[in-house]
Amino acid sequence: MLLTLGSAPGGRALIADNTIRHVGPFGIAWSGAPGSVEVRANRLGQIAEYGIVGAFSSRLELADIRDNTVEEVVAARARAAYAIQVVGARVAEVRANAISDVGTSATSASCAGILVAGCRVAQVTDNVLMRIGPASEHTGVVYGIAYGGRLETLDIRGNVVELGQALEGGNDIAVLVGLDGDPIAGLRGMIVGANDHLVTLREAVLRSNPSVMLPFSERARTVRIAGFLAAPEEIGTDPVPPRAGDVAVVDNVLRTTSAMPLALIETTANVTFAQNRVARESELAGTPAVPAR
């Protein structure tokens, strides 16, 4: 199902209560702007590559994706599998969706449960994601919930994310927030040939709408820890720059067997990480469970 939106600023499109199976390369897709799109209470199964997806060129005022069931999204010719993707909306709400069995083939180069990029306000809440990524050894990258690009507010709250039971060497991250470039490159070199879809999203939105995703390099802060000793009165504050944005990752359940971080947050925004339950079901110590940089 492909929906091409017009240019009416008050336009509204509703896609609801459909059953879509055995199709590809997408189940429900939209392109164009402005206006709003609501995708609600649909049942998608055995979809090749993309379940519910907005085109890189879409510029919605509101994207509301809620109460959908997305099952068995498989990697096909592009070796990618994504259940829900929202790009470039002023406000994005991805709420109360049930997602399972995404990119479970070991041949998947990249897969994700929920990808959001370049939205001014984004809420990813009360979703259940099960078996995201391969359950065997693989060389691709897997994200449960991922956000890329500049923002004002990002709220990732009340989600359950369980990645595929891959071997301990998998490149799997349950929650990823990255504002510029490739946030996991510093933790582990990307596998040659793997398609980092989050970076692709960021670059596409940056090219077509620079105001949405300005780089944060001019506000990067350097923190030097080694060898730093100072009296309490000598320690100054490092305030977050004005309008840097707010990121909240609260009350989520995250499970994986990968040695990669369960949650990786790379941002200069205000960050709240609270009341989450994270578990690495593996004997391999791996990296820290929640790096924030």
**CB burial readout 45-78, b (16+ within 10 A) else e:** bebbbbbbbbbbebbbbbbbbbebbbbbbbbbee
| Range with lowest mean pLDDT among 86-100, 113-127, 242-256 | 242-256
CB 246 within 8 A of CB 274: no
Closest CA to 240 of 279, 292, 287: 292
| Range with lowest mean pLDDT among 25-29, 190-194, 260-264 | 190-194
Q: Across the chain, what does the average pLDDT equal?
A: 76
The yes-or-no verdict on residue 41 having pLDDT over 50 is yes
| Whole-number percent of the chain with pLDDT over 90 | 35
Q: In what order do the strands lie in the sheet with 50-54?
A: 2-4, 26-31, 50-54, 80-87, 110-117, 141-148, 171-178, 263-266
pLDDT of residue 237: 45
Predicted TM-score (pTM) of this structure: 0.78
Beta 43-48 vs 246-250: how paired, if at all? unpaired
pLDDT of residue 147: 92
The yes-or-no verdict on residue 218 having pLDDT over 90 is no
